[in-house]
């Protein structure tokens, strides 16, 4: 049987299975719990037991003082629930609260999603898993190649395996290296995270996501995180592409649609691959959703469209606080 865990002072709650640590359960449920190594060494996931029983789930090198132990302090990564719990723990509420990190990791997979798009999976050492918020980005640096800042396509619930999407661009040394030279096991320096294209954790409004080209990477991270927090939340995803076969993970989107009751996926071909213009599509989406409900909008857009889209949202009486835009300089 699972145990209900209530976290103070936020009053967020999640259910922990007997086989998982409290940190694993909390991250799986979409909480932004403070953590670092996740193996009992750093002490970043410290919490205080206010009610209920816990039991150790593994060895921890980090030690508390006798006074701290008497006051109920423990590590969430090294303990599991033995009953329903009430704990005091820190949660990151904004991007500004996430510490800057620099980690040497290794490439674990280079997967062609489409002829011109690669999904790059990078594995960080388990002793130094990365702490980030859904929608944020990391800088990747390979030896001899200028570093590139890319959105993280994976969910914060996995701080060890991070996914990135790279589109081939003519004359671009970074994408050329990824497509032509990069192999499994190559070392990569990860620095970050950065960016404030993050989910409003307190909102329960319907969600509207609009992703242009590989802006889908950041959007997919946000959607996975939103689903973990509330699988019944209303979500609409519009993926816009002017490149042939540009919707390179449509199967992933259809899987969301098939398992969620209130999820809708719209793949739209823009000119020159289709007949639609980007600004016309967004104008139509905003008009329809502003009539249906009070929504939160998350848009990954080309730099040239940002001012026009902001004006559309303002004209539709969408408050600034309910609209977050990630500006993309390349597809």
Q: Which tens digit of pLDDT belongs to each residue from 284-300?
A: 999 999 888 899 999 99
Tally of CB atoms within 10 A around 279:
14
What CA–CA distance (Å, rounded) separates 143 from 86?
47
- pLDDT digits over 172-205, tens only? 999 999 999 999 999 999 999 999 999 998 899 9
pLDDT for res 132: 94
Residue-range domains of the chain with CATH: 3-91 (3.10.20.30), 96-194 (2.40.30.10), 207-328 (3.40.50.80)
pLDDT for res 294: 93
Tally of CB atoms within 10 A around 137:
21
pLDDT for res 20: 94
One digit per residue, the tens of pLDDT, for the chain of length 331 reads 899 999 999 999 999 999 999 999 999 888 989 887 778 888 889 999 999 999 999 888 899 999 999 999 999 999 999 999 999 999 988 888 898 999 999 999 999 999 999 999 999 987 777 889 999 999 999 999 999 999 999 999 888 899 999 999 999 999 999 999 999 999 999 999 999 999 998 899 999 999 999 999 999 999 999 999 888 999 999 999 999 889 999 999 999 999 999 999 999 999 987 889 999 999 999 999 988 889 999 999 999 999 999 999 999 999 999 999 999 988 9
Q: What share of the chain is helix, strand, coil (3-state, %, to 5)?
A: 25, 35, 40
Contact indicator for 164, 116 with CB cutoff of 8 Å: no
List, as one string, the DSSP characters of 31-82.
--B--SSSSSSS-TTEEEEEES-EEE-S-------HHHHHTTEEEGGGEEES
The answer to whether the predicted template modeling score (pTM) of the entire model surpasses 0.85 is yes
Report the first-to-last Cα separation within the chain, whole angstroms: 46
Contact indicator for 104, 22 with CB cutoff of 8 Å: no
pLDDT for res 257: 96
pLDDT for res 218: 97
């Amino acid at each position: 049987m699972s145990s209900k865990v209530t976290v103070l002072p936020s009053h967020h709650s999640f259910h922990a299975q007997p086989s998982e640590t409290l940190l694993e359960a909390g991250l799986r449920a979409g909480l932004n719990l403070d953590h670092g190594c996740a193996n009992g060494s750093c002490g970043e996931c410290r919490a205080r037991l206010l009610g209920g029983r816990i039991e150790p789930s593994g060895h921890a090198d980090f030690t508390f003082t006798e006074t701290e132990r008497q006051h109920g302090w423990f590590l969430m990564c090294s303990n599991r629930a033995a009953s329903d719990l009430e704990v005091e723990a820190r949660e990151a509420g904004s991007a500004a609260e996430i510490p800057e990190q620099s980690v040497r990791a290794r490439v674990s997979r280079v997967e062609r999603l489409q002829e011109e798009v690669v999904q790059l999976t990078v594995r960080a050492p388990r002793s130094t898993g990365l702490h980030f918020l859904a929608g944020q980005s990391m800088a990747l640096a390979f030896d001899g190649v200028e570093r590139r800042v890319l959105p993280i396509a994976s969910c914060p619930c996995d701080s060890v395996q991070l996914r990135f999407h790279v589109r081939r661009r003519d004359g671009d040394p970074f994408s050329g290296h990824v497509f032509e030279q990069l192999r499994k096991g190559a070392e990569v320096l990860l620095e970050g995270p950065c960016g404030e294209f993050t989910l409003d954790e307190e909102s329960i409004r319907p969600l509207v996501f609009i992703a242009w080209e590989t802006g889908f990477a950041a959007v997919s991270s946000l959607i996975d995180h939103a689903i973990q927090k509330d699988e019944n939340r209303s979500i609409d995803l519009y993926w816009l592409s002017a490149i042939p076969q540009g919707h390179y993970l449509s199967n992933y989107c259809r899987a969301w649609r098939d398992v969620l009751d209130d999820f809708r996926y719209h793949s739209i071909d823009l000119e020159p691959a289709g007949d639609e213009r980007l600004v016309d599509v967004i104008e139509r989406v905003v008009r329809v959703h502003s009539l249906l409900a009070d929504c939160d909008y998350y848009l990954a857009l080309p730099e040239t469209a940002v001012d026009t889209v902001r004006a559309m949202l303002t004209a539709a009486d969408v408050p600034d606080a309910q609209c977050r835009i990630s500006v993309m300089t390349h597809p």
